[in-house]
Structures are given as structure tokens and as C-alpha cells.
């Protein structure tokens, strides 16, 4: 199998970290891809042109990080999606918060990448930041739920916090969120997170 990724993409990092945690990484060849250059043929793999995408042996390519994570979970020996029940909804709620942080953060970067000077909408940026802050606050309030066996929720939250460190260090998400910061310090040492760090 081939995982198309960009080292700086937090969505691709989520898929890669899930491959490591589920024991699937040794079955996957990593293919560095720069989605913004629209590489020849890449839209045959992912018509919407984003990373990550997974070319697999048993069917057509998969794209969208959560679809890839769920596929890897289904194939792997170690499960990161809990069975149906309260633990699953907790993990998926954490995943939703993490994806919300990523979507808002990436949208903010896109606004500055595609617009210049006065064309940059501060109103839009403020709205994205509001979402980031509220989702981080929710995670801080529910930080105790991040303990326990590794789940897709924890992996996604670690990738979201890592992305804030990588691209928005000045906004310092740790300020006023001591429980989340303490949890991340420990979780970020796992090979799935440490070995996929875009700063490394």
C-alpha cells in the first residue's frame, strides 16, 4: 500500500500515526506528495487533490484522513476505534474537536496564502480563531477523558496540538490549559507522534 502524504499536513500525520498505532506501518510505503503542485495523475487517486490518500491492494484508493484511519483500524491488529459504546463516542467527540481545530487552523493559513494585504479578511481569521479556542477549551475541560488506551481521538488531538505548535506557536495553546498540556507532554513521546513530528 502507498500513503500519499506531506510532512507538514496534520491530516496526513493523523493517518500516518494511525498506521503506526494499528501496526500497519510496515505494510505501507510512504509517498511524499506536494498537493499544491497538482502532481500528474494525483487527481486519479484523490479527485479533490488533497493529502492524505491511500492506494491499497484490495480496492480503489481511499482519501480523506478519517476514512483512511478507519480502514487502517479495520486491517490492523491493534484497534484505535473503540467498539460501539460510551468509549467510542468519547473518542469520536475528541476526533471532532481535533478536526475542528485543524480545519479552522488550515483555513486561516489558506486565507493568508491566497489573499494579500487588505484582501485578507480579519473577520474570517477571527472566526477561525474563535473555533480553535472554544475547541481547545472543551478539550481542557474534558482532559481526563484523554487518559486510557490509545484511541483515534487521542491521536487526532495530539496531531491538532502539534499543528498549533508548528504553525501557530505564538498563540500558545498551553496558556490556561494545564491539563491538556500535561497530557500532551506524555502522549507526544509515543513513537507514532514523535516520529511524525513535522518539526523534526
Ligand X SMILES: N[C@@H](CCC(=O)N[C@@H](CS)C(=O)NCC(=O)O)C(=O)O
What are the grid coordinates assigned to 157, written together? Answer: 488531538
Residue count, binding to ligand X (CB under 6 A): 11
> Applying CB under 6 A, which part among 49-57, 77-85, 167-175, 178-186 lies near ligand X?
49-57
List residues bridging with 31 in a β-sheet. 4
Q: How far is the CB of 83 from ligand X (least distance, A)?
A: 23
Q: Which residues contact 99 (CB under 8 A, 6 or more apart)?
A: 66, 156, 160
71 touches ligand X by CB under 6 A? no
> Applying CB under 6 A, which part among 46-54, 69-77, 85-93, 153-161 lies near ligand X?
46-54
Look-up: residue for cell 506531506? 6
Q: Which is nearer to ligand X, 38 or 185 (CB)?
A: 38
Q: What is the C-alpha to C-alpha distance for residues 128 and 112, in angstroms, rounded to an integer?
A: 13
Q: Which residues contact 100 (CB under 8 A, 6 or more apart)?
A: 131, 132, 135
13 touches ligand X by CB under 6 A? no
64 touches ligand X by CB under 6 A? yes
Per-residue exposure over 136-152, b if at least 16 CB sit within 10 Å of its own CB, e if not? bebbbeebebbeeebbb
104 touches ligand X by CB under 6 A? no
Q: How far is the CB of 53 from ligand X (least distance, A)?
A: 8
133 touches ligand X by CB under 6 A? no
Q: What is the C-alpha to C-alpha distance for residues 91 and 51, in angstroms, rounded to an integer?
A: 23
Q: Which is nearer to ligand X, 52 or 153 (CB)?
A: 52
153 touches ligand X by CB under 6 A? no
35 touches ligand X by CB under 6 A? yes
**Interface contacts to ligand X, rule CB under 6 A:** 9, 11, 35-36, 49-52, 64-65, 106
Amino acid at each position: 500500500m502507498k500513503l500519499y502524504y506531506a510532512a507538514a499536513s496534520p491530516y496526513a500525520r493523523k493517518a500516518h500515526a494511525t498506521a503506526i498505532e494499528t501496526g500497519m506501518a510496515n505494510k505501507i510505503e510512504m509517498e511524499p506528495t506536494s498537493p499544491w503542485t497538482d502532481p500528474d495523475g494525483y487527481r486519479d487517486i484523490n479527485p479533490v487533490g488533497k493529502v492524505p490518500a491511500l492506494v491499497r491492494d484490495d480496492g480503489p484508493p481511499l482519501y480523506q484522513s478519517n476514512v483512511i484511519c478507519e480502514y487502517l483500524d479495520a486491517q490492523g491488529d491493534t484497534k484505535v476505534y473503540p467498539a460501539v459504546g460510551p468509549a467510542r463516542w468519547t473518542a469520536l467527540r475528541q476526533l471532532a474537536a481535533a478536526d475542528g481545530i485543524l480545519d479552522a487552523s488550515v483555513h486561516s493559513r489558506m486565507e493568508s496564502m491566497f489573499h494579500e494585504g487588505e484582501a485578507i479578511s480579519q473577520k474570517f481569521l477571527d472566526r477561525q480563531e474563535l473555533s480553535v479556542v472554544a475547541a481547545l477549551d472543551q478539550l481542557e475541560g474534558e482532559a481526563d477523558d484523554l487518559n486510557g488506551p490509545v484511541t483515534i481521538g487521542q491521536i487526532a488531538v495530539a496531531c491538532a496540538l502539534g499543528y498549533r505548535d508548528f504553525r501557530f506557536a505564538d498563540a500558545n495553546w498551553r496558556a490556561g490549559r494545564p491539563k491538556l498540556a500535561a497530557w500532551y507532554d506524555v502522549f507526544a513521546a509515543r513513537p507514532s507522534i514523535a516520529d511524525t513530528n513535522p518539526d523534526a
